[in-house]
Every structure is written in C-alpha cells, then in structure tokens.
Amino acid sequence: MLAVLAPRYWGAHLLALVLMAAAAGLGWWQYDSYQTRRAAEAVDLTQAEPLALTSVMGPDDPYPGDRVGQPVTVEGTWVPTGTVLVSGREHEGEDGFWLVTPLAVGGAEDPALPVVLGWTADPDAAPAPPRGAGEVVGWLQPTDGTGETDTDRTDDVIPQVRTADLIQHVEQDLYGAYAVLDHDRSPVVPGADALEPADLEQLPPPAGGTGLRNLLYALEWIVFGGEFNTPIAPVNTPKTIVDDPQFRHRFPWYPAAAHGADMLPFPVRFLGEELPVPEKAPEVGQHTEGVLSEILGYDAEQIARLRESGALG
C-alpha cells in the first residue's frame, strides 16, 4: 500500500478535502455574485418610485445587487465634518469634482450614507456643506472600485467613493453604498443649488466590470484553496450569521420565550457530555418569600407585615 494512504495520513487527507470544498464553495459564491450583478446591470431603476433607504438595506448589509440605481429617500442629520471632494468626475467634457457629505440616518451619531450633492470644476468655489436635519432623494449606488488609491490622506480630496477612503474622514460607521442627489425630486438641500447636478453618467467605469471582477475572484479562490490548502470561510454579518448552516448546527438558539432573551449555548463541546441548559433568570421578587422563610426564618405573619409596610416593594 502506498505510504500516503496509510491510516496515519487519513486525517490530513480529510482536512485537505474539507479545505478544498470550502474554497470551491467560496468560488461558487463569487460566481453567483457575478451572475447577480449581470442581471442587475440589465435593469434600469433610476426612474422607479423612491423607496425608504431602510427598506432597501441596513448599515451592516452588503449592497443589494438588484438595486443599483434605485431611487431612495433618506432622512437624518448631516455630518458636515465628513465632507470630501471626489476627483476625476467629468461634466460636459470638463474635469472636476463631486462634493460628498455624509447624512447620518437618524441621529447625529448613527451610521451615515454618503450623498453626492453635485459637481464643481473648482474646489475653492464649492459651497459650505449642509448642517442639521436633512432629507434627500437620490440614486443608490455601490461604492466605487476603480483600484485608485488616495495618495494624500492629509487633504479632503479622494479619488473614488470608496468606504476605505471615506471612513478616514468621519467618526462613525458608514453604509456600504452612497446616493447621488436627484435635484429634481429631492427636497431643498442648502448649497446644492450652487453645484451642477451630478448624474450617473459621471460614474467611473469599473475596472474590467464588477461582474467580471467577481468571476475572476471566484476562479482565484478555487485555485488558491486547491494549491495551498488554506482554511477559508465566508464573513457573516450579525444578520446573516443566524442562517449559516454550520453556525446553526453548532450554536442552536435558546429562545427568548424560555429564557427571557435569545441566547447562544456555550461554544465548546465535550465528547460524551451534554452541558446543562441555562434556566431563565428569576423575575424581580420571584424568590422573596422563599428567601425570607427558608433562609431567614420568617413566618407567614411576619412576611405579611413586611408586605403591608411596603418594604418588599
């Protein structure tokens, strides 16, 4: 029998198969992203009725591939200190900048959606960013991925609307998307009328196409996992983790109905041992009489007098 098939190597072979399966799964996931994006790009949503941003995506959600260009309404608080200029945007053949100000969806400290307010040829002529409460209608877009890097992080000019660049200029979480202000349908935004309206024609073309990039990533994951047997797993968000098959198998929920709150079991498993299921925490006053009578020795009459006096709440 070949040495590599000896029983002592079976564990290593099994691990290699598991890792290759994980790499293939990630590759299929990227391929599915490629197919989803291709289908989304074929649908023009820019003239659709606006939807509330919160009904389309949350601050921790991945960008919904079927909502590229979807008009959304956003209400919240402007974050003027996070205003940036995005270079390399053309308007009628002239090179210029987008003025982008984040809009915190809700309170001033809540996650913010970057909003493209308009275009200007001269950064020095850009109006002051809006402040206070704000409401906009804009076209939802996934963040750019042109591959350009911000070579000077000391100024407020960035080469693309990318979260990694924008996050350097704010002190709160950002949505994984941005909106291009629809000047015709949006309520008045202070200063925006001093800018040329930005439009989706000014978006930079994706490097090779976002869909093609997903397809190449899929192939890269498959080749990488097969060649290096590297442990790989998808990254889940708090909303998607509960639907992950492995997570659900290893961490079944303890329901709130039985425990007072949704809970996870202890993450370590022991061979041949079942850990006890935690009990629901006692409610206020649930054990008062037991403690008074069994531990402190109070009789029923004494406990009744305490209740009548209000000492027990």
Q: What residue spans define the domains of the chain? A: 8-42+207-250, 51-204, 282-313
Q: How far apart are CA 149 and CA 171, in angstroms?
A: 21
pLDDT per position as a tens digit, 227-273: 777 777 777 777 777 778 878 777 777 878 777 777 777 777 788 88
pLDDT per position as a tens digit, 175-224: 999 999 999 999 999 999 999 998 766 565 444 445 555 566 666 677 77
Report the range of poorest mean pLDDT among 17-31, 120-134, 289-303.
17-31
Q: Are 148 and 87 in contact (CB under 8 A)?
A: no
pLDDT over 70 at 29, yes or no: no
> With a threshold of 0.85, does the pTM exceed it?
no
Which token pair is 185?
């349908």
Q: How far apart are CA 106 and CA 180, in angstroms?
A: 19
Report the pLDDT value the prediction gives residue 228, as an integer from 0 to 100: 75
Q: Within 13 Å of residue 236, how many CA atoms lie on the same side as its CB?
A: 12
Q: Which of 77-81, 230-234, 259-263, 304-308 has the highest mean pLDDT?
A: 77-81
pLDDT over 60 at 87, yes or no: yes
C-alpha angle 275-281-287 in degrees, rounded to nearest 5: 120
Question: DSSP secondary-structure letter at 119?
Answer: E
Question: pLDDT band at 33, cuts 50/70/90?
Answer: low
Give percent above pLDDT 90 in the chain.
33
pLDDT over 80 at 145, yes or no: no
Strand partners of residue 51: 72
Question: Is 25 or 34 the better-scoring residue by pLDDT?
Answer: 25
Question: Is 226 or 60 the better-scoring residue by pLDDT?
Answer: 60
- CB neighbourhood size of 240 (10 A): 14
